[in-house]
Chains A and B, each alone.
Chain A
Amino acid sequence: EDKVVQSPLSLVVHEGDTVTLNCSYEVTNFRSLLWYKQEKKAPTFLFMLTSSGIEKKSGRLSSILDKKELFSILNITATQTGDSAVYLCAVRGGSQGNLIFGKGTKLSVKP
Chain B
Amino acid sequence: DVKVTQSSRYLVKRTGEKVFLECVQDMDHENMFWYRQDPGLGLRLIYFSYDVKMKEKGDIPEGYSVSREKKERFSLILESASTNQTSMYLCASSLFWLPTGRYTGELFFGEGSRLTVL
Contacts and interface: CB of A to CB of B under 8 A. Distances in A.
A31 interface: yes
A2 to B, nearest CB: 10
B90 A45 contact: no
Contact of A42 (B45, B106, B109): B109
Interface residues of B, number: 23
Q: Is the interface of A mostly helix, strand, loop or mixed?
A: strand
B87 to A, nearest CB: 14
A99 B109 CA distance: 13
B111 interface: yes
Interface string B1-33: 000100000000000000000000000000001
27 contacts: A31-B105, A32-B105, A34-B105, A34-B107, A41-B111, A42-B4, A42-B109, A42-B110, A42-B111, A42-B112, A43-B90, A43-B109, A44-B109, A45-B107, A48-B106, A88-B42, A90-B107, A92-B105, A97-B97, A98-B33, A98-B58, A101-B35, A101-B42, A101-B44, A102-B42, A103-B42, A104-B42
